Amino acid sequence: MRWIKWLLGEGLLYRLYRRRILKELDGLAKPHHVAMILDGNRRWAKARALESSSHGHRAGADKIHEFLTWCEEQGVEVVTLYLLSSDNLTGRDSQELDDLAEIIEGLANQLSRFSNWRVKHVGQAGALPSHLQHTLEAAEQRSSQNSGLHINLAVGYGGRAEITGAVRRLVESHQHAGGSLDELPENISVQAIADHLDTVGQPDPDLVIRTSGEQRLSDFMLWQSAHSEFYFVEALGPDLREIDFLRALRDFGTRQRRYGQ
């Protein structure tokens, strides 16, 4: 029975199917920026009767490094990972939040020291525990000169809060430049707001992937995903396979992005 399981798992059949998808990707457009909502960690732990959700969150963090490697191999330039929402900060119990902070710190340290990857924190730093703030800042500084895969860690992040903050910073910069209230409306534009987002200077995500079968954004990159393509995977976060990701790329490559035309 073990050899049958091997054939159907990541053995011969898996490798043949992977090779087939890679061939189908030849000549297809690929995303420059992939945003990922790696969801389902708690359900993964519960399904295995593990004692706490932290086991699921650790398994999800372990999967992230694999996922980023897959992205890099396929020429993706920017990846944004939704790790902790601003809603989570008020909706989860203190022990789970402590566990998540520890896991995210370990992940940020690991990613900022790996290869030529560059790490950036997006989200409300002031809402996070001080030790997590410092770890994210250190990871960002440590990798700031790297030129490889750019990784946004969305921690304490909320799309509505980001847009609100961008508008506030736009108004403040207008005031600091000596602009009047009457002149302010003329300075508010799509580009002006985009220039004050956490992701300023980065391309918007071409593809947003969410695991666990849920089909919603959950306040993730509301502004940046206005023209993104969406792909939903049934697998729970820790169970995500490379072929799931490759199928998402294949699906993306066959879509026609019209941008209203």
What is the per-residue pLDDT for 10? Answer: 64
Catalytic pick from 39, 99, 198, 204?
39
At 181 the pLDDT is 87
Q: What is the per-residue pLDDT for 163?
A: 98
| Contact indicator for 38, 64 with CB cutoff of 8 Å | yes
Cα gap 218→206, rounded to integer Å: 18
Domain ranges of the chain: 33-253
Question: Is 109 part of the annotated catalytic residue set?
Answer: no
Helix ranges (H only) for the chain are 2-8, 12-25, 41-47, 54-73, 86-91, 94-112, 130-142, 159-176, 184-187, 190-194, 242-253
Single out the catalytic residue among 26, 41, 88, 206: 88
Please tell me the predicted confidence (pLDDT) of residue 132. Answer: 97
- Residue 259's pLDDT is 72
Q: Which residues pair with 122 in a beta bridge?
A: 154
Q: Answer yes or no: are the C-beta atoms of 209 and 231 closer than 8 Å.
A: yes
Please give the C-alpha separations between residue 50 and each of 41, 56, 185, in angstroms, as whole numbers.
11, 8, 55
pLDDT of residue 235: 97
Torsion sign, CA atoms 88, 150, 190, 260: negative
pLDDT computed for residue 85 by the predictor:
95
CA dihedral of 225, 231, 236, 238, whole degrees rounded to 10:
-70
For the chain (261 residues), the mean pLDDT of every run of 10, in chain order, is: 53 90 96 97 92 92 96 98 95 91 97 96 95 98 97 98 96 91 91 97 97 96 97 97 97 86 65
What 3 state SS string does 117-167 have?
CEEEEECCHHHCCHHHHHHHHHHHHHCCCCCCCEEEEEEEECHHHHHHHHH
- 123, 157 in Cβ contact below 8 A? yes
User: What is the per-residue pLDDT for 2?
Assistant: 54
Q: Which helix (H) or strand (E) holds 84?
A: strand 78-85
Is position 39 annotated as part of the catalytic site? yes
Class (C level, CATH) for 33-253: alpha beta
- Model pLDDT, residue 179: 87
